[in-house]
């Protein structure tokens, strides 16, 4: 495959069935199929669903898998510095989440646990960028007090959803908020919150409850490890005050200048910038741009221009060079700096 293949491209919708309800806003934004049981889109994904071979992978407009295209010319897509540090992995998974019901209380293993128990290179630290939320909407993030494994196991075995929800710290959120979620921290998202999520490139989730959801947690809720082992990946202590200060940030859609969305706690996992169309030059590198307002264009040093409108998602290769955004605004998701 020639270097000419590594050019910015608009990505087709990549919604698929899940165990919770939602997806209509994704369908409207991304011209995809919508709901009622497709509450996630994986944008520019080179990651598969847990235990599957293809489901989850993003296709380009010509039907080729993005993963295959990148693997055929990794230096042009990712850059030599990225390859030297991370190999062919794009290091991120970008999603849209559109839940019509509350997400169950769950958590994700960190890199150490994933390596030891699942023989994988990544855990699942993630972050939620709130695109829309009903008034008073909340997310649960971490325990209110120190917990112990035995007590959590009892709540899981008893299917005690109320007990699990009561154990969490809830934070009210609105459009523009961003919440960083460290691996191991129990969390939940209330219904109606529309999220752009960045995370490590895995599909590793452990459920603490599942009643009312289209999933059998006893069978599929613990990554085939069993809860005795899976609960060892759960952080039992609350977030510290310094962590609490770091995990919450904002982007301002009314701002005239482009700006970073997350605080430094996210730097080793992923980066996100709100690009306002102020013609600020963005350095060359792999990224995924989601247009949220306007009707404009991205102008690349090495690849010319590409017109974008609301809902367009563009995968950007390193070889395209530095670029600017004009007459539109959106979020650029990127891997950690190499």
Is pLDDT above 60 for 101? yes
Could you tell me what percent of the chain has a pLDDT over 70?
99
pLDDT greater than 70 at residue 1: no
What mean pLDDT is predicted for residues 286-303? Answer: 97
Q: pLDDT tens-digit profile of 222-262?
A: 999 999 999 999 999 999 999 999 999 999 999 999 999 99
In the predicted structure, residue 4 carries a pLDDT above the cut 50: no
pLDDT in tens, 137-179: 999 999 999 999 999 999 999 999 999 999 999 999 999 999 9
Mean pLDDT of 35-59: 97
Task: Quote the Cα angle for 253-311-307, to 5°.
Answer: 95
Question: Which of the four CATH numbers 1.10.8.50, 3.40.50.720, 2.60.120.10, 3.30.540.10 does domain 14-68+91-250 have?
Answer: 2.60.120.10
């Amino acid at each position: 495959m020639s270097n000419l293949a590594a050019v910015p491209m608009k990505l087709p919708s990549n919604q698929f069935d899940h165990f919770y309800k939602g997806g209509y806003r994704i369908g409207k934004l991304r011209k995809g199929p919508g709901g009622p049981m497709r509450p996630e889109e994986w944008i520019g994904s080179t990651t598969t669903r847990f235990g599957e071979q293809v489901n989850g992978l993003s296709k380009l407009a010509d039907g080729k898998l993005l993963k295959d295209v990148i693997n055929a010319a990794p230096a042009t897509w990712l850059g030599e510095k990225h390859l030297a540090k991370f190999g062919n992995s794009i290091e991120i998974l970008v999603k849209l989440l559109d839940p019509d019901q509350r997400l169950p209380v769950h958590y994700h293993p960190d890199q150490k646990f994933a390596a030891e128990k699942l023989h994988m290179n990544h855990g699942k630290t993630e972050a939620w960028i709130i695109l829309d939320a009903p008034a008073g909407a909340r997310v649960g993030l971490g325990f209110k007090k120190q917990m112990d494994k035995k007590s959590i196991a009892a709540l899981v075995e008893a299917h005690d959803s109320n007990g699990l929800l009561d154990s969490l710290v809830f934070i009210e959120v609105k459009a523009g908020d961003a919440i960083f979620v460290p691996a191991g921290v129990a969390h939940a998202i209330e219904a109606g919150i529309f999220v752009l999520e960045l995370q490590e490139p895995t599909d590793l989730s452990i459920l603490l409850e599942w009643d009312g959801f289209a999933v059998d947690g006893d069978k599929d809720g613990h990554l085939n490890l069993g809860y005795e082992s899976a609960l060892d990946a759960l952080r039992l202590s609350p977030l510290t005050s310094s962590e609490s200060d770091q995990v919450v940030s904002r982007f301002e859609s009314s701002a005239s200048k482009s700006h970073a969305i997350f605080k430094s706690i996210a730097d080793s996992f992923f980066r996100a910038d709100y690009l306002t169309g102020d013609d600020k030059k963005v350095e060359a590198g792999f990224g995924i741009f989601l247009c949220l307002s306007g009707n404009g264009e991205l102008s690349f040093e090495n690849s010319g221009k590409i017109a974008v409108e609301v809902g367009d998602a563009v995968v950007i290769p390193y070889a395209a060079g530095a670029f600017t955004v004009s007459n539109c605004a959106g979020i650029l998701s990127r891997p950690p700096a190499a």
